[in-house]
Structure 1
Amino acid sequence: MTRKIFFMIALACSTLLVQAQKALRAGDFIGNIELMGTDDRLFSLNAQKGAKGFIIVFMSNSCDHCIKYKDRIIALDNRFKKKGFPVVAIAPYGDDPIKYPLDAMPKMKEWVRAKNIRFPYLADRAFKYSYLFGIRHTPEAVILQRKGSQYEIKYIGDIDDNPELKKPLTNRYVENILAKIS
Protein backbone atom coordinates (compact mmCIF):
# COMPACT_ATOMS: atom_id res chain seq x y z
CA MET A 1 0.00 0.00 0.00
CA THR A 2 2.79 2.43 0.94
CA ARG A 3 4.57 1.57 -2.29
CA LYS A 4 1.44 2.26 -4.29
CA ILE A 5 0.96 5.70 -2.65
CA PHE A 6 4.62 6.57 -3.21
CA PHE A 7 4.31 5.57 -6.89
CA MET A 8 1.16 7.68 -7.33
CA ILE A 9 2.83 10.72 -5.72
CA ALA A 10 5.95 10.25 -7.88
CA LEU A 11 3.78 9.97 -11.00
CA ALA A 12 1.82 13.09 -10.10
CA CYS A 13 5.01 15.06 -9.46
CA SER A 14 6.60 13.97 -12.74
CA THR A 15 3.41 14.86 -14.62
CA LEU A 16 3.42 18.33 -13.08
CA LEU A 17 7.10 18.75 -13.95
CA VAL A 18 6.49 17.82 -17.59
CA GLN A 19 3.52 20.19 -17.79
CA ALA A 20 5.56 23.00 -16.24
CA GLN A 21 8.23 22.59 -18.93
CA LYS A 22 5.86 22.96 -21.90
CA ALA A 23 6.43 26.11 -23.88
CA LEU A 24 3.71 28.72 -24.00
CA ARG A 25 1.73 29.21 -27.22
CA ALA A 26 -0.45 31.83 -28.85
CA GLY A 27 -3.59 32.27 -26.74
CA ASP A 28 -1.78 31.59 -23.45
CA PHE A 29 -1.29 34.31 -20.84
CA ILE A 30 1.82 35.42 -18.99
CA GLY A 31 2.38 37.82 -16.12
CA ASN A 32 5.00 40.53 -15.84
CA ILE A 33 8.51 40.11 -17.22
CA GLU A 34 11.36 41.76 -15.32
CA LEU A 35 14.94 41.58 -16.58
CA MET A 36 18.13 43.62 -16.34
CA GLY A 37 18.77 45.92 -19.28
CA THR A 38 21.88 47.32 -20.90
CA ASP A 39 21.20 50.57 -19.01
CA ASP A 40 21.91 48.67 -15.74
CA ARG A 41 18.28 49.04 -14.66
CA LEU A 42 15.62 46.43 -14.05
CA PHE A 43 13.08 46.66 -16.88
CA SER A 44 9.49 45.68 -16.15
CA LEU A 45 6.69 45.29 -18.70
CA ASN A 46 4.16 46.42 -16.08
CA ALA A 47 6.04 49.70 -15.55
CA GLN A 48 5.40 50.69 -19.18
CA LYS A 49 2.02 52.27 -18.49
CA GLY A 50 1.22 53.54 -21.99
CA ALA A 51 1.93 50.24 -23.72
CA LYS A 52 -0.94 48.17 -25.14
CA GLY A 53 1.50 45.31 -25.59
CA PHE A 54 5.00 44.48 -26.72
CA ILE A 55 6.99 43.05 -29.58
CA ILE A 56 9.53 40.88 -27.78
CA VAL A 57 12.45 39.97 -30.05
CA PHE A 58 14.82 37.28 -28.88
CA MET A 59 18.15 38.20 -30.42
CA SER A 60 21.87 37.93 -30.02
CA ASN A 61 24.25 40.70 -30.98
CA SER A 62 26.76 38.24 -32.49
CA CYS A 63 24.20 36.28 -34.54
CA ASP A 64 24.54 36.89 -38.29
CA HIS A 65 20.77 36.72 -38.82
CA CYS A 66 20.13 39.19 -35.97
CA ILE A 67 22.68 41.57 -37.45
CA LYS A 68 20.85 41.37 -40.80
CA TYR A 69 17.52 42.01 -39.02
CA LYS A 70 18.73 45.01 -36.98
CA ASP A 71 17.24 47.62 -39.33
CA ARG A 72 13.95 45.71 -39.63
CA ILE A 73 13.68 45.44 -35.84
CA ILE A 74 14.37 49.16 -35.46
CA ALA A 75 11.71 49.87 -38.13
CA LEU A 76 9.19 47.70 -36.21
CA ASP A 77 9.90 49.71 -33.06
CA ASN A 78 9.60 53.04 -34.86
CA ARG A 79 6.32 52.06 -36.51
CA PHE A 80 4.52 50.23 -33.72
CA LYS A 81 5.76 52.09 -30.63
CA LYS A 82 3.47 54.93 -31.73
CA LYS A 83 0.58 52.45 -31.71
CA GLY A 84 1.41 51.19 -28.21
CA PHE A 85 3.53 48.14 -29.15
CA PRO A 86 7.22 48.93 -28.61
CA VAL A 87 10.05 46.48 -29.23
CA VAL A 88 11.80 44.90 -26.26
CA ALA A 89 14.78 42.71 -27.14
CA ILE A 90 15.87 39.80 -24.96
CA ALA A 91 19.30 38.19 -25.27
CA PRO A 92 19.10 34.48 -24.39
CA TYR A 93 22.81 34.37 -23.47
CA GLY A 94 22.96 37.78 -21.80
CA ASP A 95 23.57 36.61 -18.26
CA ASP A 96 26.60 34.35 -18.80
CA PRO A 97 29.83 36.14 -19.80
CA ILE A 98 31.90 33.00 -19.13
CA LYS A 99 30.11 30.63 -21.53
CA TYR A 100 28.95 33.31 -23.98
CA PRO A 101 31.47 36.18 -23.92
CA LEU A 102 30.34 37.60 -27.28
CA ASP A 103 26.67 37.72 -26.27
CA ALA A 104 26.69 38.61 -22.57
CA MET A 105 25.90 41.97 -21.02
CA PRO A 106 29.28 43.70 -21.62
CA LYS A 107 29.09 43.03 -25.37
CA MET A 108 25.35 43.80 -25.39
CA LYS A 109 26.14 47.26 -24.00
CA GLU A 110 28.82 47.83 -26.64
CA TRP A 111 26.45 46.74 -29.41
CA VAL A 112 23.64 49.03 -28.21
CA ARG A 113 25.99 52.02 -28.19
CA ALA A 114 27.63 51.17 -31.54
CA LYS A 115 24.32 50.54 -33.35
CA ASN A 116 22.41 53.37 -31.61
CA ILE A 117 19.70 50.99 -30.39
CA ARG A 118 16.85 52.86 -28.66
CA PHE A 119 14.67 49.97 -27.47
CA PRO A 120 15.38 48.03 -24.24
CA TYR A 121 17.85 45.17 -24.64
CA LEU A 122 17.54 42.74 -21.72
CA ALA A 123 19.52 39.74 -20.49
CA ASP A 124 17.53 36.54 -20.02
CA ARG A 125 18.29 34.76 -16.73
CA ALA A 126 19.37 31.16 -17.30
CA PHE A 127 17.25 31.01 -20.48
CA LYS A 128 14.07 31.41 -18.41
CA TYR A 129 12.02 33.25 -21.02
CA SER A 130 13.73 31.60 -23.96
CA TYR A 131 12.51 28.23 -22.66
CA LEU A 132 9.15 29.58 -21.55
CA PHE A 133 8.34 30.85 -25.06
CA GLY A 134 9.97 27.86 -26.80
CA ILE A 135 12.48 30.00 -28.66
CA ARG A 136 14.39 27.84 -31.13
CA HIS A 137 16.60 30.39 -32.89
CA THR A 138 17.38 34.08 -33.09
CA PRO A 139 15.87 36.37 -34.08
CA GLU A 140 12.43 35.18 -33.07
CA ALA A 141 9.49 37.35 -32.07
CA VAL A 142 6.74 37.15 -29.47
CA ILE A 143 3.79 39.55 -29.58
CA LEU A 144 2.13 40.25 -26.26
CA GLN A 145 -1.13 42.16 -25.85
CA ARG A 146 -1.92 43.66 -22.45
CA LYS A 147 -5.10 42.31 -20.86
CA GLY A 148 -5.36 43.92 -17.43
CA SER A 149 -2.37 42.79 -15.39
CA GLN A 150 -1.66 39.88 -17.74
CA TYR A 151 -0.38 39.62 -21.30
CA GLU A 152 -1.97 37.45 -23.94
CA ILE A 153 0.45 35.82 -26.33
CA LYS A 154 -0.75 36.68 -29.83
CA TYR A 155 2.17 35.24 -31.81
CA ILE A 156 5.46 33.36 -31.43
CA GLY A 157 7.64 32.88 -34.49
CA ASP A 158 9.72 34.46 -37.22
CA ILE A 159 9.57 38.18 -37.88
CA ASP A 160 9.06 37.59 -41.59
CA ASP A 161 9.80 35.02 -44.27
CA ASN A 162 13.14 36.34 -45.50
CA PRO A 163 16.09 36.03 -43.11
CA GLU A 164 18.67 36.30 -45.88
CA LEU A 165 17.23 39.30 -47.78
CA LYS A 166 17.98 37.49 -51.04
CA LYS A 167 14.44 37.87 -52.34
CA PRO A 168 11.54 40.25 -51.68
CA LEU A 169 9.56 39.77 -48.48
CA THR A 170 6.24 38.06 -49.09
CA ASN A 171 5.07 37.50 -45.51
CA ARG A 172 5.61 40.03 -42.73
CA TYR A 173 4.29 37.85 -39.92
CA VAL A 174 4.79 40.30 -37.02
CA GLU A 175 3.44 43.29 -38.96
CA ASN A 176 0.38 41.33 -40.10
CA ILE A 177 -0.53 40.33 -36.54
CA LEU A 178 0.06 43.86 -35.24
CA ALA A 179 -2.07 45.36 -38.02
CA LYS A 180 -5.00 43.33 -36.66
CA ILE A 181 -4.58 44.17 -32.97
CA SER A 182 -2.98 47.63 -32.78
Structure 2
Amino acid sequence: MLRSVFVRSLAASAFALTLGAVSGDSASASEFNEVLDIGDKAPSFENLPSADGKKLSLADLKDQKAIVVVFTCNHCPVAQAYEGRMKAFAKEYADKGVSVVAISVSTEPEDALPEMAERVKAEGINYPYLRDETQAIGKAYGASVTPQSFVLGPDRTVRYMGAWDDSWRAAKAPEETYVRDAVDAVLAGKDVAVTEKRQVGCGIVYE
Protein backbone atom coordinates (compact mmCIF):
# COMPACT_ATOMS: atom_id res chain seq x y z
CA MET A 1 0.00 0.00 0.00
CA LEU A 2 1.37 3.38 -0.98
CA ARG A 3 1.20 6.14 1.57
CA SER A 4 2.41 9.73 1.50
CA VAL A 5 4.44 10.22 4.64
CA PHE A 6 5.52 13.53 6.08
CA VAL A 7 8.08 13.42 8.85
CA ARG A 8 7.86 16.17 11.42
CA SER A 9 9.64 16.87 14.67
CA LEU A 10 7.81 17.38 17.91
CA ALA A 11 9.39 17.66 21.34
CA ALA A 12 12.67 16.44 19.84
CA SER A 13 11.12 13.23 18.61
CA ALA A 14 10.03 12.45 15.06
CA PHE A 15 6.71 11.01 14.07
CA ALA A 16 5.24 10.00 10.75
CA LEU A 17 2.22 11.97 9.57
CA THR A 18 0.49 9.62 7.19
CA LEU A 19 -2.12 10.38 4.60
CA GLY A 20 -4.00 7.10 4.29
CA ALA A 21 -4.10 5.97 0.67
CA VAL A 22 -4.18 2.80 -1.37
CA SER A 23 -2.37 1.79 -4.52
CA GLY A 24 -4.21 1.69 -7.79
CA ASP A 25 -3.86 -2.07 -8.14
CA SER A 26 -5.03 -2.82 -4.60
CA ALA A 27 -8.20 -4.85 -4.12
CA SER A 28 -9.38 -2.33 -1.55
CA ALA A 29 -12.90 -2.34 -0.22
CA SER A 30 -13.21 1.42 -0.53
CA GLU A 31 -11.19 4.41 -1.60
CA PHE A 32 -9.19 4.74 1.61
CA ASN A 33 -9.82 1.47 3.44
CA GLU A 34 -8.64 -1.93 2.24
CA VAL A 35 -10.95 -3.89 4.55
CA LEU A 36 -14.30 -2.15 5.05
CA ASP A 37 -16.72 -0.36 2.78
CA ILE A 38 -19.60 1.95 3.58
CA GLY A 39 -22.67 -0.12 4.44
CA ASP A 40 -20.64 -3.03 5.81
CA LYS A 41 -21.53 -4.44 9.19
CA ALA A 42 -19.10 -3.04 11.73
CA PRO A 43 -16.77 -5.64 13.26
CA SER A 44 -17.72 -6.38 16.84
CA PHE A 45 -15.43 -6.29 19.84
CA GLU A 46 -15.88 -8.05 23.14
CA ASN A 47 -14.62 -7.38 26.66
CA LEU A 48 -11.84 -5.00 25.69
CA PRO A 49 -10.14 -3.59 28.80
CA SER A 50 -10.72 0.08 29.38
CA ALA A 51 -8.45 2.69 30.91
CA ASP A 52 -11.00 3.09 33.72
CA GLY A 53 -10.48 -0.52 34.83
CA LYS A 54 -13.69 -1.84 33.30
CA LYS A 55 -14.34 -3.84 30.11
CA LEU A 56 -16.57 -2.95 27.20
CA SER A 57 -18.17 -4.79 24.30
CA LEU A 58 -19.92 -3.31 21.30
CA ALA A 59 -23.05 -5.17 22.39
CA ASP A 60 -23.07 -3.14 25.62
CA LEU A 61 -24.00 -0.12 23.51
CA LYS A 62 -26.98 -1.75 21.83
CA ASP A 63 -29.36 1.03 22.84
CA GLN A 64 -27.28 3.79 21.30
CA LYS A 65 -28.55 5.44 18.12
CA ALA A 66 -25.04 5.95 16.80
CA ILE A 67 -21.51 5.04 17.83
CA VAL A 68 -18.31 6.79 16.85
CA VAL A 69 -15.34 4.41 17.02
CA VAL A 70 -11.98 6.16 16.90
CA PHE A 71 -8.67 4.34 16.66
CA THR A 72 -6.20 6.46 18.58
CA CYS A 73 -3.27 6.30 21.02
CA ASN A 74 -1.36 8.34 23.57
CA HIS A 75 1.83 9.16 21.72
CA CYS A 76 0.59 10.50 18.38
CA PRO A 77 0.51 14.33 18.22
CA VAL A 78 -2.35 14.25 15.73
CA ALA A 79 -4.39 12.01 18.04
CA GLN A 80 -3.59 14.32 20.94
CA ALA A 81 -4.75 17.31 18.91
CA TYR A 82 -8.19 15.77 18.46
CA GLU A 83 -8.81 14.84 22.10
CA GLY A 84 -10.39 18.19 22.93
CA ARG A 85 -12.82 17.98 20.03
CA MET A 86 -13.67 14.40 20.87
CA LYS A 87 -14.36 15.28 24.51
CA ALA A 88 -16.58 18.20 23.53
CA PHE A 89 -18.46 16.05 21.02
CA ALA A 90 -18.94 13.20 23.51
CA LYS A 91 -20.38 15.62 26.08
CA GLU A 92 -22.66 17.34 23.57
CA TYR A 93 -24.05 14.15 22.05
CA ALA A 94 -24.32 11.94 25.14
CA ASP A 95 -27.98 12.88 25.68
CA LYS A 96 -28.75 12.25 22.01
CA GLY A 97 -27.97 8.55 22.24
CA VAL A 98 -24.49 8.75 20.75
CA SER A 99 -21.37 7.14 22.21
CA VAL A 100 -17.74 7.84 21.40
CA VAL A 101 -15.43 4.86 21.89
CA ALA A 102 -11.67 5.21 21.51
CA ILE A 103 -9.54 2.13 20.88
CA SER A 104 -5.76 1.82 20.96
CA VAL A 105 -3.94 -1.03 19.24
CA SER A 106 -0.53 0.62 19.44
CA THR A 107 2.37 -1.46 20.76
CA GLU A 108 4.45 1.54 21.84
CA PRO A 109 5.36 1.47 25.55
CA GLU A 110 3.72 4.86 26.14
CA ASP A 111 0.45 3.41 24.88
CA ALA A 112 0.20 0.60 27.43
CA LEU A 113 -2.95 0.39 29.55
CA PRO A 114 -1.44 2.02 32.69
CA GLU A 115 -0.26 4.97 30.60
CA MET A 116 -3.70 5.19 29.01
CA ALA A 117 -5.24 5.37 32.48
CA GLU A 118 -2.89 8.20 33.41
CA ARG A 119 -3.84 10.14 30.29
CA VAL A 120 -7.55 9.69 30.92
CA LYS A 121 -7.11 11.18 34.37
CA ALA A 122 -4.76 13.97 33.32
CA GLU A 123 -6.80 15.06 30.29
CA GLY A 124 -10.27 14.44 31.69
CA ILE A 125 -11.21 12.08 28.88
CA ASN A 126 -14.94 11.45 29.13
CA TYR A 127 -15.40 8.52 26.74
CA PRO A 128 -14.29 4.88 26.98
CA TYR A 129 -10.64 4.41 26.02
CA LEU A 130 -10.11 0.74 25.21
CA ARG A 131 -7.02 -1.36 24.66
CA ASP A 132 -6.57 -4.29 22.27
CA GLU A 133 -3.11 -5.76 22.57
CA THR A 134 -3.91 -8.38 19.93
CA GLN A 135 -4.51 -5.61 17.37
CA ALA A 136 -7.29 -7.79 15.94
CA ILE A 137 -9.96 -5.09 16.07
CA GLY A 138 -7.76 -2.55 14.31
CA LYS A 139 -7.11 -5.03 11.52
CA ALA A 140 -10.82 -5.88 11.30
CA TYR A 141 -11.68 -2.22 10.77
CA GLY A 142 -8.80 -1.63 8.39
CA ALA A 143 -7.49 1.14 10.63
CA SER A 144 -4.23 2.51 9.26
CA VAL A 145 -3.56 5.71 11.23
CA THR A 146 -4.34 7.41 14.51
CA PRO A 147 -6.81 8.96 14.78
CA GLN A 148 -9.19 7.25 12.37
CA SER A 149 -12.95 7.51 12.83
CA PHE A 150 -15.88 5.22 12.03
CA VAL A 151 -19.50 6.29 12.45
CA LEU A 152 -21.86 3.37 13.05
CA GLY A 153 -25.60 3.65 12.59
CA PRO A 154 -28.30 2.06 14.78
CA ASP A 155 -28.01 -1.14 12.74
CA ARG A 156 -24.24 -1.01 13.35
CA THR A 157 -23.35 -0.62 9.72
CA VAL A 158 -20.55 1.75 8.78
CA ARG A 159 -22.02 5.08 7.66
CA TYR A 160 -18.81 7.12 7.57
CA MET A 161 -15.09 6.45 7.95
CA GLY A 162 -11.93 8.49 7.79
CA ALA A 163 -10.81 11.83 9.20
CA TRP A 164 -12.69 13.48 12.08
CA ASP A 165 -12.70 16.79 10.21
CA ASP A 166 -10.56 18.66 7.71
CA SER A 167 -8.04 20.34 10.04
CA TRP A 168 -6.13 18.73 12.87
CA ARG A 169 -4.14 21.88 13.65
CA ALA A 170 -5.47 23.98 16.50
CA ALA A 171 -4.48 27.17 14.67
CA LYS A 172 -6.84 26.40 11.80
CA ALA A 173 -10.48 25.77 12.65
CA PRO A 174 -12.08 22.99 10.59
CA GLU A 175 -14.37 23.98 7.76
CA GLU A 176 -15.72 20.46 7.19
CA THR A 177 -16.89 18.46 10.21
CA TYR A 178 -17.23 14.99 8.73
CA VAL A 179 -17.97 12.98 11.88
CA ARG A 180 -20.44 15.49 13.27
CA ASP A 181 -22.24 15.80 9.94
CA ALA A 182 -22.44 12.01 9.59
CA VAL A 183 -23.83 11.55 13.09
CA ASP A 184 -26.38 14.32 12.57
CA ALA A 185 -27.55 12.61 9.38
CA VAL A 186 -27.84 9.25 11.12
CA LEU A 187 -29.87 10.77 13.96
CA ALA A 188 -32.15 12.47 11.45
CA GLY A 189 -32.68 9.23 9.53
CA LYS A 190 -31.03 10.68 6.43
CA ASP A 191 -28.31 9.47 4.11
CA VAL A 192 -24.80 10.63 5.00
CA ALA A 193 -23.64 13.10 2.35
CA VAL A 194 -19.89 12.55 2.78
CA THR A 195 -19.28 8.90 3.61
CA GLU A 196 -15.50 8.71 3.42
CA LYS A 197 -12.51 11.03 3.69
CA ARG A 198 -8.83 10.26 3.74
CA GLN A 199 -7.60 9.61 7.27
CA VAL A 200 -4.63 11.70 8.44
CA GLY A 201 -2.37 10.86 11.36
CA CYS A 202 0.40 8.61 12.64
CA GLY A 203 0.68 5.25 10.93
CA ILE A 204 -0.36 2.19 12.91
CA VAL A 205 2.33 -0.50 13.00
CA TYR A 206 0.90 -4.01 12.99
CA GLU A 207 2.95 -6.94 14.22
**TM-score by structure 2 length?**
0.69
CA distance in 2, matches of 1:118, 1:165: 20
Query: Where does structure 2 lack aligned partners over 5 or more consecutive residues?
Result: 1-26, 29-33, 188-207
Q: Does 1:44 align with 2:62?
A: no
The answer as to 2:192 corresponding to 1:179 is no
- Within the candidate set 154, 162, 183, 1:157 is matched to 162
Deviations 1:55-89 (A, max 9, x none): 11111111111111111010111122221111110
Map of 1:68 onto structure 2 = 81
Please state whether the residue corresponding to 2:63 is helix, strand or coil.
coil
1:140 aligns with 2:160: no
Secondary structure in structure 2 of the residue aligned to 1:82: helix
Residues 124, 25 of structure 1: CA spacing in aligned structure 2 closer, same or farther, 3 A cutoff?
Answer: farther
| 1:31 CA displacement | 5.1
* 1:8 aligned partner: none
For the pair 1:78 / 2:91, whether they are aligned, the reply is yes
Judge which range, 22-31 or 63-72, deviates more.
22-31
State the distance in 1 between where 2:173 and 2:52 align: 36
CA distance in 2, matches of 1:164, 1:116: 20
Pairing of 1:5-44 with structure 2 (within 5 A): 23-30=35-42, 32-34=44-46, 35-44=48-57
User: Which structure has the larger Rg over C-alpha atoms?
Assistant: 1
Aligned partners of 1:53, 1:32: CA distance in 2, in Å? 14
The answer to whether 1:117 aligns with 2:125 is yes
Partner of 1:11: none
More helix by share: 1
Q: Verify the 8 A CA contact 2:72 2:102 in the aligned structure 1.
A: yes
TM-score by length of 1: 0.78
Q: Is the 8 A contact 2:65 2:98 kept in 1?
A: yes
Aligned amino acid, residue 115 of structure 1: E
Aligned-pair RMSD on alpha carbons?
1.8
Identity between Structure 1 and Structure 2 (%): 30
For these two proteins, the number of residue pairs brought into alignment is 155
